[in-house]
Amino acid sequence: MYRRSALLIALLLACDSPTRSNVSLVAATDRPTYVLATDSSVATVDLWVENTGRLTLEIPRCGSQLAVFIDGRAGSGWQLLWERGTICPAIYPMTPLSLAPGERARSPITLPSGTYRVRVPHAIAGRPADDHTAASNAFTISDAP
């Protein structure tokens, strides 16, 4: 009886959640639409990332800004418009952001009007950052009415 109970306990402890992936990063903006202020040609979008997996992840960054790929709507698909933080001047630290399971981080992005999504490269700590990419929701920045 004790042997069976010990085995069952060991199995339960070894299994976290069978539906939770080892590597899972969720990227999302704080809202789906933004409006430019009348005196501005850009809007600030709050990008949030959350590690919903079981392992610590690393996200490349330049200074305090996460490295991201910014895609613009192109017909029914997406086209890479620019990369932010993937090339970093030597005066800024390039230490990746380490996100433990359940942790969140915020990274503001300034963009002109358009429809976008943001892709965030990430990897298990110590692996190349291009192992995985998390895409945010689509969002629109429109001119002031």
Contacts of 60 (CB under 8 A, 6+ apart): 66, 67, 85, 86, 94, 96, 97, 121, 129
14 in any annotated domain = no
pLDDT higher than 50, residue 12 = no
Domain region containing 32: 20-142
13 in any annotated domain = no
CA-based nearest residue to 85, from 77, 74, 95, 99: 95
pLDDT band at 130 (very low <50, low <70, confident <90, very high): confident
145: which 2 tokens?
Answer: 């009415």
64 in any annotated domain = yes
- Contact indicator for 68, 85 with CB cutoff of 8 Å: yes
Which position has the higher pLDDT, 28 or 90?
A: 28
Per-residue confidence (pLDDT) for residue 132, from 0 to 100: 87
pTM: 0.81
How many domains would you assign to the chain?
A: 1
Q: What is the mean pLDDT of the chain?
A: 85
